[in-house]
Amino acid sequence: MAVTHPDIVIRPMAAADLEQVIAIEQESFSLPWTADHFIDELNSPHSFPLAATGGDGSVVGFICPFLILDEGHILDVVVGSAHRGRGIGRLLTATALAMLRERGAVRVSLEVRVSNGAAITLYRRLGFVEAGRRKRYYENGEDALLMDITFG
């Protein structure tokens, strides 16, 4: 599942990226992750957060996948508002899926707001299927759609 983008580089997220990552997180969510949450992800032996950077090296998006035994999970996928609609979310997700598979994942899961049609469409195109629903999962009472993909 090779997905490329002419002016975007996907690389491991670093502590030096946190200011930009947190700014993107805060513009995207009413209850954003804190710096401590991202630091935990950077320091976890199970997580490997990735940053998408533009031609000038600035962070334009990120994804936080983790793997425990043979099960992967995607916690957070965000693209800065000025960069949405350019395929960066697809590139981040496809890269994380490829890395999870290479590391031995046989299944990967995620949650997504039922109102986030663009993300749901993206995940379906990448092979995710609906696996359930978490009622009132988000802070505003919105349901989460559970989706997963199994590698054959």
Q: Which of 111, 130, 139, 142 is catalytic?
A: 111
Residues 6+ apart with CB under 8 A from 59: 17, 20, 21, 24, 51, 52, 53, 80
Q: Which of 25, 123, 130, 139 is catalytic?
A: 123
Let me know if 71 is a catalytic residue: no
How many Å is the Cα radius of gyration of the chain?
Answer: 15
Let me know if 123 is a catalytic residue: yes
Alpha carbons within 13 angstroms on the beta-carbon side of residue 86 total 17
Q: What phi and psi values does residue 106 have, to the nearest 5 degrees?
A: -105, -15
- Where in the sequence numbering do the catalytic residues fall? 111, 123
